[in-house]
Amino acid sequence: MDKLIEGHKHFLSDVFPPRREQYKLLADRQSPRWLFITCADSRIVPDLILGTDPGDLFITRNAGNIVPAGSEGDDGVAATIEYAVEVLHVRHIILCGHSDCGALKAALDHKSLKNLPRARRWLNHVEGAFTHKQPPIPAEGEHAELAALIRGNVIAQLLNLRTQPSVTRAAANGELQVHGWYYDILSGNIEQYDEQQRKFLPLVS
- pLDDT confidence of residue 61: 97
pLDDT tens-place string over residues 70-99: 776 678 999 999 999 999 999 999 999 999
In this structure, are residues 145 and 156 in contact, taking their beta carbons and an 8 Å threshold? no
Instruction: Write down the pTM of the prediction.
Output: 0.94
**Quick one: which of 191, 193, 178 has its CA closest to 93?**
178
**Quick one: which of 168, 200, 173 has its CA closest to 184?**
200
- pLDDT confidence of residue 70: 78
Q: Which structural domains are found in the chain, ordered by start? A: 1-30 (no CATH), 32-202 (3.40.1050.10)
Rg, the chain, Cα only:
18
Q: Which long-range contacts (CB under 8 A, 24 or more apart) does 176-179 make?
A: 176/85, 176/90, 176/91, 176/92, 176/93, 177/91, 177/92, 177/93, 178/92, 178/93, 178/94, 178/95, 179/92, 179/93, 179/94, 179/95
In this structure, are residues 26 and 56 in contact, taking their beta carbons and an 8 Å threshold? no
- pLDDT confidence of residue 75: 87
Q: Write out residues in the chain with pLDDT < 50, as ranges.
A: none
Q: Angle at CA 201, nearest 5°, toward 133 and 105?
A: 35
